[in-house]
Amino acid sequence: MIFDLIQNTFDGLAMGASYALLAVGFTLVFGVLRRVNLSYGPAIMIGCYAATWVSLSFHSNVFALLGITILGSVLAGTYVERLCFAPHRQGSAIAAMVASFALWMQFEEAVTLVMPKHLYDFPPMFDGDPLAFGPLSLRAEALVMLSCALAICFALHRMLYRSRFGLAVRAVIDAPLAAQLAGINVPRVLLLVFLLASGIGGLAGWLIASTHTQVTPMLGMWSTLKGLLAMMIGGLGSLPGAVIGGLALGVLEAHSQWFLGPQARDLIAYLLMFVLLAWWPRWMTTQSAS
Amino acid sequence: MSALLEIRQLVTAYGKIEALKGVTLDVEQGSITCLLGPNGAGKTTLMMTVAGILRPKSGSIRLAGEEITGRPPHAIVAGGIALVPENRLVFPNMSVLENLQAGAYQRRDREIEADIGKLFERFPRLKERSGQNAGTLSGGEQQMLAVARALMSRPKLLLMDEPSLGLAPLVVEEIFRIIVQLHQDGVSIFLVEQNAHMALKVAQHFYLMEQGKVTFSGTPGALAEDEVIRRAYLGSAKA
Amino acid sequence: MDDYTVSVLTNIGLISFIALSAYLLIIAGEMSFGQQGFFGVGAYTAGVATAMYGVPLPIAAVMAMGAGAAAAFLVGLPTLRLRGLYFAMATLAAAEMLRIVFELIHFQREIDGEPIGPDGTQGFRGIRWVFENGVEPEGFLAMVWGLLFAVVALFLFMERSKLGATLRMLGEDPELARMLGVHVERFKLGVAAAAGALAALGGALYAHHNTYIEPRNFDIMLGVHSLAYALIGGLGTAFGPLLGVLIDIGALEGSRVFHGYRMIVFGGLVAVLLIFRPRGLLDERVVHWLKRRLA
């Protein structure tokens, strides 16, 4: 029993590490643009499909695919930013959210047109068995994923507080009008933040695909919803919060699945999101991007 | 020689409502020029249009003979115009030092650190608080920070939108002392002000704007002689 | 009319209900990403009533509307005071919860030696009231469109009334509405419940048209489509959402020209229209102009 609990927590942390990475990208966009990008996951899916296609055509190394995945995600992200976020910069946040959903539909249909099979294999990062700690086991991918999440969180923090670009990003978050008056090219900063988030999403997508050793069209919706949930649990807009939110979501899901089954797992996650939004709105809004 | 800033027939609209209905005015090189006018006359709209935040519907803005109409705000700053906006608008969650660094965002030269040092000499209060978040400063200190931030871009022309608004009389005097000092250092200043008494002491040229149009242009002497303006802007004001 | 045309026209009618439901909320200033949940509540309620308990469809539809209104009221209670983006995400979470609840419901009765009722992810088949009562597809089509016209007429009547003016004021400037003595919270709850009932009515009819429903039918895709229909069709008149549905289901899906590319075309259309016509094709200005020409 106690081993089950510990093993579940391990599995949850492993899963949570991928949620954390997804949430970091999501949070970056939300924290700076105050917009929700529903196409975040589908853009990642485009990257993963591009890599899958390369892998099937050229049998390339799994680490070479990382570059393809990131490139694909960033290109798809550029398309999303130009069509959904740049035009609605002054306008409604909801319009941008709906527009990003419209592109989600495009992405999903586009991948099924080009690669119609329901499931494609993705090469694994490592061959061999999971690492064993006595009766417990943990996959090496989970450790890689967790280290990546922490490293990226740390690097983003450094970028925000130690670099010229980070200064501009924080200025835009703090007072967008003043940032323009200070001579900061705000549209460009927003585009770059968006592309950075897409790149992080691409890394997350590659890690997830090579951990699950498969890609399906569901990856898009899955990534968006998990990233969104983890971001919310972490308090909307805080980078360390996103990592903690992702891990918490993973552990919560692992335990609720073990005790109550997969549907209850999703139900509890959404319930948490609903309750957080409805009854703790201050939790959501007071956690600024710092 | 043409003026430093030349505004010709400038029209800016919010939807169908024209806030500026063909504004024409000049700011001479090396001058302090002051724009007076009641609330809602379009003074802030004019400042925001010159700074590139608002796009004009028609008309032209030239800086030192160069057409800058319709350029984005960051390009305007790079071109040499910096605006100290109404209500100061500092970056509240960034330190005083970071606020100044952000003001130099356009610059790539190596003199940024030196400029910050000079500004700290001019504004010793800011130096004392350089690590503090700007949001924790008093209103007067924030106003000084906003001016200092604008100066970090090394502007040819400094726009100031009601710098004395909401400040205590002593602080207002300090702000005007700074304006005079900047002017002596060679910065051209275009000032929007409600406090006509203070402005009268420093400015060389005045414009009056009413309902989106310039209705008076002249020297401080001419302004003080105009009966209507006197009653509206100087009559009841405290000295 | 051939079967295919009848089926496409029926579908346009059915989806128009949920599009109108999204429209009603947008007019009142709220973008819900969760109307599909109430559509599903209506579908399940009416399906259970007719297929398991022999309730006639008209009564079952009224029950569905009641259930939809109640569900929307309960969701609205804690969420309607949230601002735009937060309301959108909260309603999305609520609708996903409802969908998972549909996955968890296993509730069947033996009818004529056959188990009938919702069976979790296996769905709910055998909602055959329409066929058992000899209603031809054309008859059902007439029923759907008859009801739809009644609803649209109600909308047009409402928009001319004081109620409609209050509704638009609420959407444009809730503070002004509050100052003029509108009880904003109560009013919005009423609107949310009405929108829930409308979506549920559509769901009830949808279940009886398809005879089979499953939780997947009521996922976020349906919800955002209904929002998109209202947004591209136009927010100036209740005909707007209908136009939106007509463009997507009628022109893109129905014509088969865009087979395999429908989502790409429709998605692009939505994104581009949101930029150039943020209040849709039939926005307030176009509607005003049309009214003047017609008058």
C279, pLDDT greater than 80: yes
Give the percent of chain C with pLDDT over 90.
Answer: 45
The larger pLDDT score, comparing residue A61 to residue A172, is at A172
Within 10 angstroms of residue B16's Cβ, the number of other Cβ atoms is 5
The larger pLDDT score, comparing residue C196 to residue C7, is at C196
If one counts the domains in chain B, the total is 1
> What is the chain A residue with the closest CA to C33?
A98
> Each residue of A241-278: b (16+ CB within 10 Å) or e?
bbbbbbbbbbbbbbbbbeeeeebbbbbbbbbbbbebbb
> Would residue A280 count as lying in a domain?
yes
List, for residues C18-74, the tens digit of each pLDDT value: 999 999 999 998 889 999 999 999 999 999 999 889 899 999 999 999 999 999 999
- Cβ distance A271 to C31 less than 8 Å, yes or no, reads no
> Is residue B228 helix, strand or coil?
helix
Q: What is the mean pLDDT of residues A6-12?
A: 85
> What is the chain B residue with the closest CA to A172?
B91
Window from A131-140, A176-185, C193-202 with minimum mean pLDDT: A131-140
Going from the C-alpha of C222 to that of each of C9, C22, C45, C245, the distances in angstroms are 18, 11, 18, 12
Return the structure tokens found at A287: 């956690």
Of the pLDDT bands very low, low, confident and very high (cuts 50, 70, 90), residue A11 is: confident
Return the structure tokens found at C264: 């790409």
C112, pLDDT greater than 90: no
Give the pLDDT confidence score for residue A184 in this predicted structure. 95
Give the pLDDT confidence score for residue A281 in this predicted structure. 58
Eight-class DSSP state of A130: P
- Cβ distance A270 to C275 less than 8 Å, yes or no, reads no
Contacts of A124 (CB under 8 A, 6+ apart): A62, A141, A210, A211, A213
Q: Give the CATH number of the domain where residue B181 resides.
A: 3.40.50.300
> Would residue B15 count as lying in a domain?
yes
Contacts of C61 (CB under 8 A, 6+ apart): C42, C46, C201, C204, C205
**Alpha helices for chain C (secondary structure H):** 3-27, 35-47, 53, 57-79, 84-104, 129-132, 137-160, 162-172, 174-179, 184-210, 220-233, 239-245, 262-276, 284-294
Give the percent of chain B with pLDDT over 90.
Answer: 63
- Chains touching chain B through at least 3 C-beta pairs below 8 angstroms are A
- Average confidence score pLDDT of chain B: 89
B214, pLDDT greater than 60: yes
Rounded distance between C-alpha atoms, residue C255 and residue C246, angstroms: 11
Of the pLDDT bands very low, low, confident and very high (cuts 50, 70, 90), residue A155 is: very high
> Would residue A55 count as lying in a domain?
yes
If one counts the domains in chain A, the total is 1
> Would residue B82 count as lying in a domain?
yes
- Cβ distance C79 to A277 less than 8 Å, yes or no, reads yes
Give the pLDDT confidence score for residue A289 in this predicted structure. 37
**Alpha helices for chain B (secondary structure H):** 43-50, 73-79, 96-103, 112-122, 124-128, 139-151, 169-184, 196-202, 220-225, 227-229
Amino acid at position A266, single letter: D
A282, pLDDT greater than 70: no
Q: Give the CATH number of the domain where residue A195 resides.
A: 1.10.3470.10
- C interface test, pick of A26, A226, A257, A277 with most C CB neighbours within 10 Å: A277
Give the number of C-alpha atoms closer than 13 A to the C-alpha of residue A74, restricted to the C-beta side.
14
Place of tokens 């638009």: C168
List, for residues C142-184, the tens digit of each pLDDT value: 999 999 999 999 999 998 888 888 888 888 888 888 888 888 8
Residue numbers of the domain that contains A208: 11-125+138-286
Return the structure tokens found at B52: 């590139």
Residue numbers of the domain that contains B171: 5-89+154-235
Of the pLDDT bands very low, low, confident and very high (cuts 50, 70, 90), residue B235 is: low
> Would residue B119 count as lying in a domain?
no
Radius of gyration of chain C (CA): 19
List, for residues C81-97, the tens digit of each pLDDT value: 887 788 888 999 999 99
CB pairs under 8 A between A and B: 71
B236, pLDDT greater than 70: no
Give the pLDDT confidence score for residue C165 in this predicted structure. 87
The larger pLDDT score, comparing residue C283 to residue C191, is at C191
Of the pLDDT bands very low, low, confident and very high (cuts 50, 70, 90), residue A144 is: confident
Which residues from chain B sit within 8 angstroms of residue A288, using beta carbons? 93
Q: What is the mean pLDDT of residues C90-117?
A: 89
- Cβ distance A175 to B89 less than 8 Å, yes or no, reads yes
Q: What is the mean pLDDT of residues A9-14?
A: 86
- At least 3 CB pairs under 8 A between chains B and C: no
Give the percent of chain C with pLDDT over 70.
Answer: 99
A133, pLDDT greater than 80: no
Instruction: For residue C19, give the nearest of C202, C171, C158, C282 by alpha carbon.
Output: C202
Give the pLDDT confidence score for residue A135 in this predicted structure. 75
**B residues 56-75 lying closer than 8 A (beta carbon) to A:** 72-74
- Cβ distance C263 to A106 less than 8 Å, yes or no, reads yes
Asked whether C167 and C28 are in contact (CB, 8 A), the reply is yes
Q: Does B50 touch chain A (CB under 8 A)?
A: no
**C residues 253-282 lying closer than 8 A (beta carbon) to A:** 260-264, 266-272, 274-275, 278
Return the structure tokens found at A2: 């106690």
**C123 CB burial (10 A radius; 0-12, 13-18, 19+):** middle
Give the pLDDT confidence score for residue A284 in this predicted structure. 55
ipTM over 0.95: no
Rounded distance between C-alpha atoms, residue B14 and residue B56, angstroms: 10
> Is residue B55 helix, strand or coil?
coil
Which residues from chain A sit within 8 angstroms of residue B82, using beta carbons? 181, 183
List, for residues B219-234, the tens digit of each pLDDT value: 888 887 777 777 777 6
> Would residue A201 count as lying in a domain?
yes
Q: Does A99 touch chain C (CB under 8 A)?
A: yes
Which residues from chain C sit within 8 angstroms of residue A91, using beta carbons? 278
List, for residues A33-57, the tens digit of each pLDDT value: 888 899 999 999 999 999 999 998 8
Contacts of C14 (CB under 8 A, 6+ apart): C144, C202, C205, C206, C209
Q: What is the mean pLDDT of residues B105-134?
A: 91
What is the residue-wise DSSP string for A218-262? HHHHHHHHHHHHHHHHTTSS-HHHHHHHHHHHHHHHHHHHHHH-H
- Cβ distance B98 to A167 less than 8 Å, yes or no, reads yes
> Would residue A132 count as lying in a domain?
no
Give the pLDDT confidence score for residue A287 in this predicted structure. 45
